[in-house]
Amino acid sequence: MTAPSAKAPSVRARNPLAEMLMIALPSVVTMTSYTVMQFIDGMMVSKIQPPDPVYVSAQGNGGMAVWLLLSFALGAMGVVNTFVSQHLGAGKPERGSAYGWSVLWISAVWALLLVPFAFVLPAVFRSMEHTPELVALETRYAQISLIGAFFVLSGRGIAHYFYGMHKPLIVMVSVLAANLLNVMLNAVLIYGVDGPPAGTPFQGQFQSIAAALDIAPMGVAGAAWGTVIGSSIELLVPLVVFLSPAMHRRYRTRSAWKPSVAHMRDIGRLGWAAGVMFLNEMLCWAFLMAYMLAAGGAAKTRLLDLPPEELDAAVEAARTTANTAGWIGLRYMHISFMPAIGISIAVTALVGKCMGMGRPDLAEKRAWLGMGLTVAYMSACAVVFVVYRERLIGVFIPRELWEADPEAAAALLRVGAGVMIAAAVFQVFDAVAITASAALRGAGDTIWPGIITVVSSWVCIVGIGFLLLHFAPQLGSMGPWIGASAYIIMLGVLLMIRFMRGKWKTIDVLGQSADGGGSGTGGTGGIGGPRDDFDTLPAPTGALAGGMPGEA
């Protein structure tokens, strides 16, 4: 390899941390906004009168079922960030527009294919031994949510285009607007003419709107409609920007509207493994949340020496308690890992751009920087989870439940506190797994991470979880949580090993893409692109795939 000249020209650029934060902070706000919406949704349905833990379970189970159906497409679409960012790094950002259109077409087809699933959901929930009331509520929530499948898929897909273009502020604005609308609609649709609980901000105004429109309380179904309408706004805002005259002049965004089999094939070729990875992970987590936790609570309760009638009632109560406590705990886990996912989106975009420029050495440094941020944040979350575990769970237990059934409220608090401890155990490993996976995806390394995710999730979440259910029933729902913790720890270790071995540095994504342009990692073709937002770099010469000397 020819060494760069000492007098080679250089390009002025931003500090690496500033560069990371300019992309990461809007992405973190976006992911946090999703989390806040889910958190508020769960809290609002928990206030439905008369109080009953079943409402939180119904919303969680119904939402998980829909996400499971969307998960393969959502996972596969994430590689749009990779293609767009690498074309940006290679100085050909207009070539990314076809991928933005491709996710819209894929979303439309996928949403149509999901229609028949709406009719089989009741049978699926009944097979998990859910109570008739829970089956009815979670089915309704899921069926309404499926109506908005196109909005969710295409909104997330077009968001990855803007992430790849290093324009995350557009996505942030759309998500904040969607979530604000969702909360307002929830306040009207969930409670109707009865109005939100006392103390809710703008309670009187929301009740007046519901009364003027004669909206009856819709309960959990109202939360689903609010989410569907909010998702349509999440798509509309970035789509308007994508089709705007300014974007078209710079990136020819309107010219690539026709369905392109070649670009869809690119997404499928690189994204299928990520799609399988996400689908499998959602499947295992759905099985954990909707079945295994309840089964653990029931298994522990069956050990009690009670008369048959009392035992049956206690088992059903334990099922609901374990399921509800799991969903409450997951709400707080979202607060920890969703901001980390926001940082990981920036890692994918920056690694992709560096690889498009032919600088795998810079890609590695950006990945380590992102990992430091996620580990620091999620470590702090772990401490909070342990220290304030009972207070955090108590937020979701209404005062009315303490008054009506103090034993049920105390059981929910006790089981939920245990969930928070389990979550704290794997926080650091989750941070490592999230960031390493994002870095590998930015370079186009998706197959090996997908395989190891599938294997480890079935071994740990399902395998260890089932073994503990049968051979250590006294652990209750903590048995499945131990299996889930083992999965995240194993995944974090294995993905870190994959990243550190560095095979991803040799992958040529653009050379195999529909546009056929050589990637920067395979030659000098990717060096003509914009570099002004990177560190001051010597002008590269020679074989770029072998790496460059350290940053100036």
Query: Within 10 Å of residue 14's Cβ, how many Cβ atoms?
Result: 15
- Cα separation, 239 vs 538, in Å, equals 38
Higher pLDDT, 376 or 90: 376
- Cα separation, 123 vs 106, in Å, equals 28
- Eight-class DSSP state of 538: B
Window from 28-37, 203-212, 406-415 with minimum mean pLDDT: 28-37
Calculate the CA dihedral of residues 128, 130, 132, 137 and round it to 10 degrees. Answer: -100
The pair of structure tokens assigned to 148 is 């908005």
With a pLDDT cut of 70, the percent of the chain lying above it is 89
Say yes or no to pLDDT of 154 above 90.
yes
- Cα separation, 110 vs 6, in Å, equals 54
* pLDDT digit string, tens, across residues 503-523: 999 988 877 666 665 444 333
Strand partners, 538: 10
Give mean pLDDT, residues 31-50.
Answer: 77
C-beta separation of 370 from 19 below 8 A: no
What's the pLDDT score for residue 543?
26
Window from 223-227, 402-406, 532-536 with minimum mean pLDDT: 532-536
pTM of the model: 0.72
Q: What are the residue ranges spanned by the domains of the chain?
A: 16-258+272-516
Task: Tell me the CA distances in angstroms from 5 to 23, 355, 539, one per residue in order.
Answer: 32, 22, 8
Interacting residues of 451 by C-beta distance below 8 A, sequence separation 6+: 273
Query: Within 10 Å of residue 471's Cβ, how many Cβ atoms?
Result: 9
- Cα separation, 312 vs 161, in Å, equals 52
* pLDDT digit string, tens, across residues 49-76: 887 878 888 888 898 889 889 989 988 9
Interacting residues of 261 by C-beta distance below 8 A, sequence separation 6+: none
Amino acid letter for position 255: S
Radius of gyration of the chain (CA): 24
* pLDDT digit string, tens, across residues 247-298: 999 999 999 899 999 999 999 988 888 888 888 888 888 889 878 998 999 9
Query: Within 10 Å of residue 239's Cβ, how many Cβ atoms?
Result: 16
- Cα separation, 433 vs 74, in Å, equals 18
The owner of tokens 């703008």 is 202
The owner of tokens 């690694």 is 351
- Cα separation, 191 vs 189, in Å, equals 6
* pLDDT digit string, tens, across residues 315-359: 888 988 998 899 899 889 988 888 898 899 889 888 988 888 889
The pair of structure tokens assigned to 93 is 């950002």
C-beta separation of 395 from 39 below 8 A: no
- Cα separation, 71 vs 104, in Å, equals 16
- Cα separation, 268 vs 253, in Å, equals 21
What's the pLDDT score for residue 392?
93
The owner of tokens 């997404």 is 267
Say yes or no to pLDDT of 176 above 80.
yes
- Cα separation, 68 vs 71, in Å, equals 5
DSSP 404-433: H-HHHHHHHHHHHHHHHHHHHHTHHHHHHH
Average pLDDT of the chain to the nearest whole number: 84
- Cα separation, 66 vs 240, in Å, equals 26
> HSE of 314 in the Cβ direction (CA atoms, 13 Å)?
15
Amino acid letter for position 169: L
The pair of structure tokens assigned to 175 is 């998500």
* pLDDT digit string, tens, across residues 91-149: 889 999 999 999 999 999 999 999 999 999 999 989 887 888 999 999 999 999 999 99
Window from 40-49, 221-230, 374-383, 531-540 with minimum mean pLDDT: 531-540
